[in-house]
Amino acid sequence: MDISIFGILWALIEKACVVLVIFVLLFHINFFKRMLTDKKTVVHQVLLSIVFGAFAIYGTYSGVATSGAIANIRNIGPMMGGLLAGPWVGLASGLIGGIHRYFIPGGFTAVPCALGTILSGDNALKLVNVIAMPMILADTFGVAVFAFLLREMRKPKIQ
């Protein structure tokens, strides 16, 4: 189904908001909050990588089909993980999301499909013109709101 750039952007922002709400709920669990605020052990980094990798997987499945491709917010999880818990968590959660994407149905054709898209020329350019901006803006929105929420949640509470 082909939809407008604004329609894709709106749908992706809705999906990003779901990730942010889940993150806020997780942040209110003491165990999760301690993992983020205490010195990060290897176990903490592995658990955080799994959590933010799960956000990447959600980003894949919540994508918006258009023009024969899927616009998605897969990058929000690894970006949040990297910003919050460091580059190793960002890298590991990115690998989780990327490896998952590779092995979902149609995943093993990722390389041939990429080459086919490049070789198809005008169709590739048309697709990029439709989905690139909404994906960039939705990912940016998600990370910006995440950074704001994180700053607000880390402020000392005045009583």
The mean per-residue pLDDT over the stretch 42-68 comes to: 90
Would you state the pLDDT for residue 124? 53
- Would you say residue 61 lies in a domain? yes
What's the distance, Cα to Cα, between the start and end of the chain in Å? 52
Residues 46, 95: Cα–Cα separation, whole Å: 12
Residues 65, 79: Cα–Cα separation, whole Å: 23
Residues 21, 146: Cα–Cα separation, whole Å: 10
Higher pLDDT, 112 or 139: 139
Would you state the pLDDT for residue 87? 86
Would you state the pLDDT for residue 64? 86
Would you state the pLDDT for residue 103? 76
pTM metric for this prediction? 0.77
pLDDT confidence tier of residue 75, bands split at 50, 70 and 90: confident
pLDDT, mean over the chain: 82
- Would you say residue 81 lies in a domain? yes
Domain containing 135 equals: 5-150
- Would you say residue 157 lies in a domain? no
Task: Count how many domains the chain has.
Answer: 1
State pLDDT tens for residues 79-135.
888 888 888 888 899 888 888 877 777 655 465 544 554 454 475 557 667 788 888
- Would you say residue 34 lies in a domain? yes
Would you state the pLDDT for residue 141? 92
- Would you say residue 43 lies in a domain? yes
Would you state the pLDDT for residue 117? 40
- Would you say residue 156 lies in a domain? no
Residues 146, 123: Cα–Cα separation, whole Å: 34
- Would you say residue 159 lies in a domain? no
